[in-house]
Structure 1
């Protein structure tokens, strides 16, 4: 299968310190009115356009869900919005080393919220387009994955579609905080890959430096019901104690995560063996020095006795 065919079959489509995600995807032009209301009450979002993004609520920086699944878009609290990933999202992992970062065997069926809209699947992205957000932030927003709780793994990545390799953004297999940078007035969609059906809770932080010198930050937890058989009631009842953000993942951390199993253990054994060798050499040197000092002392005593006997 060619790379082009893979991209067509599975749109399974960055994190640095922080990584820089691509700007608005072509065809994703939108503007958000300042007076769009905040809806209350539970809502299950199974198809249509949905973004996560920062917005000011009562002069407070918050992270909300922008619900564009209806004629008049609204904002929703992440605790009340359930993102349903139906069986229509099932796709097959391609036999292509470019997708090895998924850590899922080729041929396995996974649930994919795609970067390119599928009308039968919820279409999830992010935006930094709230009018007041655009007026007050300095250059952009850092979106950070804090943690994931679920029966399988979650990987979020971008696919450019021009034969470039996939660009991983978030991987639940990594334990460190994973930030990426989104410019002001950005509207982007990515691929969200779930390895198994069930309930997933995904904690995300949105932070930014403001033009007045302040720094703002807010956290929200996305609630996913993956698979037709997953109960909405179970998803709403789920709770998770996801810790606050730790140190951001570095390139070295990611390289370690991608090492073959056992590499870290092998390196540790080699390091310990080296330390043991140096310790033995040090003890031998001390022993030899001690013997030399003793020999010199005996020679000096013998010389002193000989001198006294003269």
Structure 2
């Protein structure tokens, strides 16, 4: 088990302050979207928007395979193994974690640890870079899990931590990200278990259109946490309004990514409506038949 303070000191001595495109990479416009489920537990992955044929979606860029691919969040589980466990340092600077000094937590660090999945985000999809005006807003809409999630940045000069997302605070929690940005941060999970992280990414296109997409990220924390449970878990909490309207494609992806609960509700509502219409039709036809029968009896 690593000591968090020592690990952070060693890490931050090498880490530059994240800047747009500070972690240089260029994404191939022809990268495919992989089919089937995948468990990503080591190597480099980014969360980011994609824009193709007028459809704005959130996907996971998987750089753990060659060639890299994009994946739907509903098809991917980010697994944080016990190799990521560190202890909260006895330092007031980390009081925002809400954990007592010495408490073991799972840490996805800002700089890469070869034994831990390296989670970041980017706005480098060629379709996105061509379509958006300045940047995107990444909103944390909610976190469902056994503990808290905190995401923060810390500069290489041992500056104060910059908290980006904290699941103990009110939602939504917006984060502005410039175009052509590739950034990694520290992700701190207070307890092992399955975490469902609801995010939204919105942007203004160069033509003035506003686009939005919502997704649920699936994260299995701890070696003893079953991955199958992360794939099948459903986000059951309510999501705050941000004033953005997700596209139809993004809304469908979000419903699928959160276990399909929204789709099931929609189907149930539709079925109830059809049943009501059918009942009215049967009632009307029955009344007409009775009137015809009475008229025939009167004529006899």
* TM-score class normalised by the smaller sequence: 0.7 to 0.9
What is the aligned partner in structure 2 of residue 266 from structure 1? none
Maintained 8 Å contact 1:23/1:182: no
Match of 1:102 in 2: 97
1:138 and 1:162 map into 2 onto residues whose CA distance is: 32
Q: Is the 8 A contact 2:108 2:119 kept in 1?
A: yes
State whether residues 4 and 161 of structure 1, in contact with CA within 8 Å, keep that contact through their aligned partners in structure 2.
Answer: no
Which residue is 1:56 aligned to?
51
Change (3 A) 1:166 1:198: same
In structure 2, what is the equivalent of residue 153 of structure 1?
148
Q: Conserved in 1, the CA contact under 8 Å of 2:151 and 2:186?
A: yes
Q: CA deviation at 1:176?
A: 1.9
Listed one character per residue, the Cα deviations across residues 243-292 of structure 1 (whole Å, up to 9, x for unaligned) are: 333469xxxxxxxxxxxxxxxxxxxxxxxxxxxxxxxxxxxxxxxxxxxx
Inter-partner Cα distance in structure 2 for 1:106 and 1:171 = 18
51 and 59 in structure 1: CA distance in 2 versus 1, 3 angstrom threshold: same
Judged with a 3 Å threshold, the aligned counterparts in structure 2 of structure 1 residues 6 and 165 are, in CA distance, closer, same or farther, namely farther
- Give the aligned length: 236
- 4+ residue runs over 4 A deviation: 3-6
> For residue 244 of structure 1, what is the aligned residue in structure 2?
239
With over 3 angstroms needed to count, the CA separation of the structure-2 counterparts of 1:129 and 1:10, relative to structure 1, is: closer
Contact 2:49 2:201 in 1 (8 A): yes
**Which structure has the larger Rg?**
1
The answer to whether residue 134 in structure 2 is matched with residue 133 in structure 1 is no
> Are residue 47 (structure 1) and residue 42 (structure 2) matched?
yes
SS, match of residue 79 in structure 1: helix
Tell me, in whole angstroms, the C-alpha distance in 2 between the residues paired with 1:4 and 1:109.
12
Q: Give 1:23's aligned residue.
A: 19
Describe the superposition over 1:66-89 as per-residue Cα deviations: whole angstroms up to 9, x where unpaired. Answer: 000012110000001000000000
SS across alignment from 2:158: coil
* Cα distance, 1:179–1:147 mapped onto 2, change above 3 Å: same
Counterpart for residue 276 of structure 1: none
Using structure 2 for the length normalisation, give the TM-score.
0.75
Alpha carbons of 1:108 and 1:46: their partners in 2 closer, same or farther (altered >3 Å)? same
The reply on whether 1:165 has 2:166 as its aligned counterpart is no
- Cα distance change, pair 246–105 in 1 and its aligned pair in 2 (3 A): farther
- Equivalent residue for 2:88? 93
1:146–1:194 distance in 2 versus 1, CA, 3 Å: same
Please give the secondary structure, in 1, of the residue aligned with 2:101: coil
Q: Which runs of 5+ in 1 are unaligned?
A: 12-20, 249-310
Looking at structure 2, the residues matched to 237 and 213 of structure 1 have their Cα atoms a distance apart, in angstroms, of 38
Root mean square deviation, CA, Å:
2.0
1:175 aligns with 2:165: no
Between the aligned partners of 2:30 and 2:7, the Cα distance in structure 1 is: 42
Q: Residue 204 and residue 247 in structure 1: after superposition, are their counterparts in 2 closer, same or farther (change >3 A)?
A: closer
- Call closer, same or farther: CA 1:59–1:247 in 2, change over 3 Å: closer
Other-structure match for 2:75: 80
Q: Partners in 2 of 1:133 and 1:23 — Cα distance?
A: 18
- Conserved? CA contact 2:87–2:103, under 8 Å: yes
Q: TM-score, normalised by structure 1?
A: 0.73
Contact kept, 8 Å, 2:20 with 2:179, in 1: the verdict is no
- By how many angstroms is 1:56 displaced? 1.8
